[in-house]
Every structure is written in structure tokens, then in C-alpha cells.
Amino acid sequence: MFGTNLLSKTPQWPLLKKEAKVLKPILPMHPLQLEVAGIHCELSHNYINNNILTLLAQLCQTQEVMQFFQAMRLGEIVNLSENRPALHTALRDPNYKEDSVRQAVAANLFKMQNLTEGIHQNKMIRHIVHIGIGGSDHGPKFIMKALAAYQVSDLSFHFIANIDPTELQNTLKKIEVRNTLFIVSSKSFSTDETLTNFTNLCLAMGGDKNLIESQCIAITANKEKALTHGFKEENILLLPESIGGRFSIWSAIGFSLMLAIGAKHFQAFLAGAKAMDEGCSTENFLDNPALLLAAMDCWYTNFLEASSRAILVYSSPLNGLIDYLQQLIMESNGKSQSMQGKALDYQTSPIIWGGVGSNSQHTFQQLLMQGTRLNPIDIILPRNSDVDIAGQQGKLVAHCLAQAEALILARNRQGQPYHLLSFEKISPHSMGALLALYEHRTVMSAALWAINPFDQFGVQLGKNILAEMQRDLRKTVF
């Protein structure tokens, strides 16, 4: 059964601890690079040698990392605490083996495409307001900004996530209700922030039932609740229970993204992810980018005691990737118990932080260069761009590569370890591949740590306490 071997009880644990003690961390250490689904992974600048790589490969076998990954792709129960599969890869696989899942995915995608076509033809609709939070917000908001060059309509998009009323108020100032389509995204259709914003939006509509029926679309796994809130059945897009919010951009949660970039580009986005799914399915350790990156995450976290990972994006449209990865990685792997409910005696998820590359060279990269902390880094670089002014994109690439070279000489010339993930340019395909790579890296890291990346009881605990807190606040006189 998955998750029975605690990392600290594996035969590789003491051997890797010993390697960490005798390692002389001076970069570069080991030439290692590969390319999968158009993502070039330069991994040579790490505190890694042949002995460590061999032990990490053996550790992946001991922890059955690839077995867990393949079980996930085959639709087996991998979310043990909720007794569910994790079917996000099925959302981008038109040949998925299970008929019922494949047909449901195809039907929902077809409905998304029909709704998209109708909305694009409706000249009254000029604004799209997407209401959701967490996994129902980060994915479409980030990818829509990243793929702004691929927008096929003149619709204006607005996102409301925060329960802070100023976010709703500021959005309402920018739109006319009669010219706006509202998308309400909530898997349970009970998320307090989302339903509060939707309720107050209904007030702004004057409680007009016809407006709610004709200009509101629900995305949820709880169809009945959406119906009770006044949504018409034909305006409800279904989200499977087995899709976690942070893995849901490929589902109906991506509907606003499809409205922006069109069905053709959305299909290319799915295809990029599917290509990475296939590339990360190889059992060969040195050919599998997600497996290598997950093993290195474990190495730095558990053996070299690095507590965080910085993400440097050398493209302004990719700034939203950091928020996206904070949720994907820390909500998935911020766990202190194994899949089998055992307390862990080792660290799990690193803290994820970062910023836009050239901007951060003049702010926090001082800490990376000369600070005392070991801090592995992911550098994300589109090598080319559809937007260029007098060779400025070339200068951006030069800045990135110069800073990467400087990292090798950082920290008293020991160097700061980094991964350079580059691709031809920002496109639907490259974005799909990049996000899928991070998904698989996160899941494989979880398997190494023997934890379940698909539940989030900490988030649920906060929701349970919220009801009591609201009752108490109602009794308080301000």
C-alpha cells in the first residue's frame, strides 16, 4: 500500500545523510540536462554527484514513486484519506481508458465550446466576471494573463476572489450588469467567499431572477446547490469530485480561459499538458524531468536543510505563476502525517516564493547572492517573445543568463543551486507543458515523503471554525 514507508526509515536515508555531510558544495557539480514536451531542463547547477544521483534513484524505487504516479494516471485510488482517484490527467487525455470518465470529460468540453461560441456571438456581452477563490481563481487568472497575446475576443475579464468587499465594489464600478456574464466557480458551491460575493452581486442585479438565469454560469461538482441558487441547468458546467481545485485548470474551471483564448488554443493548452504527461511516465530516472526535480527537492529539503524554493520568472506575463505554485505545492505537500496517518519526523513542502526576474535582481536577489541561507531556485525563461522592441527581448535573456552565471559564484563562491527551465516562447502548448511538469513534480515529491498530495484538511478546518466565528461576531456590537 502506498505511503507505508516513511522517508526516514528507508535504507537510503542514512546513506544520503552521510553524503550530505561529506559533500563539498561548489558549483557546477554534475552535467545534467534534458528536454521534454518543449521544456528544456538545465539541471547541471546543483549540489549533486553520481553517488547522490544513484541513491536518489534508488530512493524513488523504494518509495514506489513511479508506481504511485502510474496508479494516478490509471484512475486508481490514490487520494487515500478521501478514498478517491485523482483524475486531472484524464481531463487532457482524449483516449483515457475508462469509458465513463472519457465520455463525461468530452461532454463537458463540448458544452464549454458551445457556450463559448454563443457568448462570442452575443454582442451584448462585453464583460466577463469570474468569481472563485483558490484553485477556482489562480489557474484561469494566471494563464489568461500569460496568454494575453492569444486572446481571440474583445471581452474584458475581471476576477473576484477576496471576501474583502472592496474587490467586488471596484469590479462593479468597471462594468454594466446588463452587459456582463458572471461565472461562479465553486466545487462544493458552499465556499463562503464565493457565495458571499455572488449573493451581493445578486443584490446589485436588483434580485432580478431573469438576469441570474440568463447571465450567470455555475461551475461546480454540486449541481443541486447551483440549481437552488437560481442557475439554469444548461448554464451549469460540472467539475468532477475527483479533481482537486489546484489541479482543476484543465476542467470547466478553465471556462473563462476558453472564453478568452478560444477553444482551439484551449485544446493546444491541454495538448501541451498531455505531452508532458507522456514524457514524465518514463521509468528511466535520468530521462524523467518531474522525477529528477522531485528527487532534488527531497535532497535539498531533507538532507541539505533548505526550507524554501525561489521562483524567478523572466517574463512579466508569468508573474502569476508564483501564486499558482504556492497553492499547488504548499497546499498539496504541506503535511505532517503520512498517507497512513503516521506522524512524520522530517520536513515536507518547502516554502515557495519569488518574483519577476529582472525586477528582483534589484531587490531580494541580494539574499540569494550573498545571504547565509541555502535556497534552491527555479528560473523560468521563455527564450523568445511575440513582443519585442528594438531587441529588448534579447537583453532580457542576457540578464537572465548573466544572473544564472552569477548564482554559480554566489555565497562565497560555493554557488547557489538552480534549475533553469526554458522554452521557445509563451504559448498555450508551452504553458500546458510547464504546469503539468510542476503538477507531476509535486505529486512525485509527495510520494517520496509518503504523504497524500490530494487532500487539504487544514483548509477544511478553517472553514469549520468560520461558522462559529461568524455566530460570535453577530453577537458583538461595534
Other C-beta atoms closer than 10 Å to the C-beta of 352 total 19
The residues, any chain, with a CB within 8 Å of residue 130's CB and separated by 6 or more, are: 137, 140, 141, 157, 158, 159, 160, 183, 185, 256
Q: Is 342 a catalytic residue?
A: no
Residue 303, CA distances (Å) to 6, 220, 295, 451 in order: 15, 42, 11, 18
Please say if 21 is a catalytic residue: no
CB 45 within 8 A of CB 417: yes
Q: Reduced to 3 states, what is the DSSP secondary structure of residue 163?
A: coil
CA 232 – CA 238 distance, rounded (Å): 13
Q: Residue 427 is placed in which grid cell?
A: 504559448
Which entry of 24, 123, 173, 362 is annotated as an active-site residue? 362
Looking up cell 498517507 gives: 339
- 10 Å CB burial of residue 87 (0-12, 13-18, 19+) is buried
**Backbone phi and psi for residue 443, each to the nearest 5 degrees, phi listed first:** -65, -40
- How many C-beta neighbours within 10 Å does residue 184 have? 28
Query: Which residue in the list 331, 335, 439, 440 is annotated as catalytic?
Result: 331
Q: Which three cell numbers stand for residue 430?
A: 508551452
Contact 127/180 with Cβ under 8 angstroms?
yes
The residue count for the chain: 478
Distant-in-sequence contacts of 412-416, Cβ < 8 A, 24+ apart: 413/26, 414/25, 414/26, 414/27, 415/25, 415/26, 415/27, 415/28, 415/45, 416/27, 416/368, 416/369, 416/374, 416/375, 416/376, 416/377
331 as an active site residue: the answer is: yes
Could you give the residue numbers annotated as active site?
331, 362, 463
